[in-house]
Amino acid sequence: MSPAIELHRVSKRYWKLEERAMLLRSVLPFARPRRSAIYAVRDLDLTLGQGQTVGIIGRNGAGKTTLLRLMAGVTQPTEGVVRIAGRVAPLISVGVGFHQEMSGRENVYVNGMLLGLSAKEVRRRFDEIVAFAELEDFIDTPVKFYSSGMFMRLGFSVAVHADPSVLLVDEVLAVGDMSFQAKCLERMRTLQSEGTSIVLVSHIMSAIRLICPRVCVLQDGKLLFDGDPEAAIGEYYKVLSAPDETGLPGAPITVMARTLLGVEGDRYYVEPDGEVEIVTRVRFEQPVEDPHVKFQILTEGGLLVSTTQSVLRRPWRRFEPGDEVDVRVRFRARFAGGSYRLVTIVTGANVDDHLVRDEGPVLYVEPRVGTWGIVDPVATIEVDGEDRTWNESLMLQGRDATDSPG
């Protein structure tokens, strides 16, 4: 069987204009606007067999969306060959191609037909599509009044009901609420078992691990890693944690080294509620009187989870240029599954005077089934005396149910 998607030595070059193109200037050869080349995807080989699923992860700007666009056929590679078998692959992402003035109902028809269904097929699946998107009450409202979540739900629903042979999913999970996210994942698993190939781009590692038996890491348009999801996620965190260009010349404090203890290997995994220790070695380049330390935890989306401030008691002591000390922070990872960025800040005597801000490593907390969000309070659910907490064994039963077709 031929592969569902085949990319052979594919590059995509964009011209970044230094100036705005204007009709007159482009026609006059001597006045052509200056431009410089940017490779969004470079010399990339990727083959996806039919019915297989691959996850794509990477930093922002690594070329993930360009890759999906190439697969969807909406853009052409500058070099190389892209081959796609089967029905047009719809690219699902935030703000699917909807017509603002038209109602949800009309958009379902237009979108369904764009995805290759006939009007009759759309009609037959219409109720199912609307029910899945949970938009029964709003289906005759013009979509310009929809929230971004409603938009995404409808777009996703149409796409998964269009029987694509390849489903390209770009970051949609970031928009919907948690329950819809779970529903999307469930639906993707059903499609997988029915033989649909899926390419999933996401920053949500729990989703990647749940759906993808194979994961590619993109970095600067190149394929950094292709294979086992655990190893791939590890690679991804290494990329994310690569020491930034800290220690600008003239900075009062420089970060010399950073170690993370209590985590699994160099992938920065930690069990829920596991104890973590982060040691940042800093060197004072200027004399600093009574420094303070702030330790922050942020979600991947940049949401501040917590700030911990060292004691505000002065006078304390003075550090001289050349002094090297360890800043040691210990905490427990009482987070829901996901990744968290650890930031260590050293301030002067005034706590708003940041002398160094170390965008430290990204910590990956193992997801616990049935719990999501930011904090994990280790909640249990009991109904009429019976324990109804979702745990691993129940999850496996659910998996069996979706995997056996019919």
> Does residue 81 interact with other proteins by CB under 8 A?
no
> Does residue 33 interact with other proteins by CB under 8 A?
no
Whole-angstrom Cα distance, residue 68 to residue 75? 10
Tell me whether residue 211 is exposed, middle or buried, using C-beta atoms within 10 angstroms of its C-beta: 0 to 12, 13 to 18, 19 or more: buried
Pattern of binders to other proteins over 130-169, x per CB under 8 A? ----------------------------------------
Contact 173, 155 (CB under 8 A): no
> Does residue 110 interact with other proteins by CB under 8 A?
yes
Whole-Å CA distances, 140 to 6, 143, 146: 40, 9, 11
> Does residue 7 interact with other proteins by CB under 8 A?
no
> Does residue 23 interact with other proteins by CB under 8 A?
yes
The residue among 26 and 286 lying less far from other proteins, judged by its C-beta, is 26
| Angle, alpha carbons 175-178-181 (nearest 5°) | 65
- Minimal distance in Å, beta carbon 193 to other proteins? 24
Compute, in degrees rounded to 10, the torsion defined by CA atoms 352, 257, 277, 344: 10
- Minimal distance in Å, beta carbon 22 to other proteins? 7
Among 14, 39, 126, 331, the residue binding other proteins under the rule CB under 8 A is: 14
- Minimal distance in Å, beta carbon 154 to other proteins? 13
> Does residue 254 interact with other proteins by CB under 8 A?
no
> Does residue 263 interact with other proteins by CB under 8 A?
no
| Angle, alpha carbons 83-89-95 (nearest 5°) | 135
The residue among 82 and 362 lying less far from other proteins, judged by its C-beta, is 82
The residue among 7 and 205 lying less far from other proteins, judged by its C-beta, is 7
> Does residue 76 interact with other proteins by CB under 8 A?
yes
Tell me the window of 45-53, 96-104, 217-225, 235-243 that interacts with other proteins (CB under 8 A): 96-104
- Minimal distance in Å, beta carbon 203 to other proteins? 20
How far apart, in Å, do the first and last CA atoms of the chain sit? 24
The residue among 20 and 313 lying less far from other proteins, judged by its C-beta, is 20
- Minimal distance in Å, beta carbon 182 to other proteins? 24
Among 4, 48, 62, 92, the residue binding other proteins under the rule CB under 8 A is: 92
> Does residue 115 interact with other proteins by CB under 8 A?
yes
Cis status, amide bond into 142, omega within 30 of 0: no
Contact 12, 40 (CB under 8 A): yes
> Does residue 207 interact with other proteins by CB under 8 A?
no
- 177 phi and psi angles, rounded to 5 deg: -75, 175
> Does residue 91 interact with other proteins by CB under 8 A?
yes
Which residues, other chains included, contact 97 with Cβ-Cβ below 8 Å and sequence gap of 6+?
A: 111, 114
Whole-Å CA distances, 146 to 48, 171, 320: 35, 19, 59
Tell me the window of 109-117, 185-193, 213-221, 366-374 that interacts with other proteins (CB under 8 A): 109-117
CB atoms within 10 A of CB 48: 22
Strands (E), 49-118: 53-58, 79-84, 91-92
Contact 209, 364 (CB under 8 A): no
CB atoms within 10 A of CB 55: 25
Q: Which amino acid is at 210?
A: L
The residue among 17 and 131 lying less far from other proteins, judged by its C-beta, is 17
Among 5, 72, 154, 199, the residue binding other proteins under the rule CB under 8 A is: 72
> Does residue 36 interact with other proteins by CB under 8 A?
no
Q: Which of 77, 90, 91, 58 is nearest to 13 (CA)?
A: 77
* Interacting residue ranges for other proteins, rule: CB under 8 A: 14, 21-23, 26, 69, 72-76, 88-93, 95-99, 101-102, 106, 109-110, 113-115, 118-119
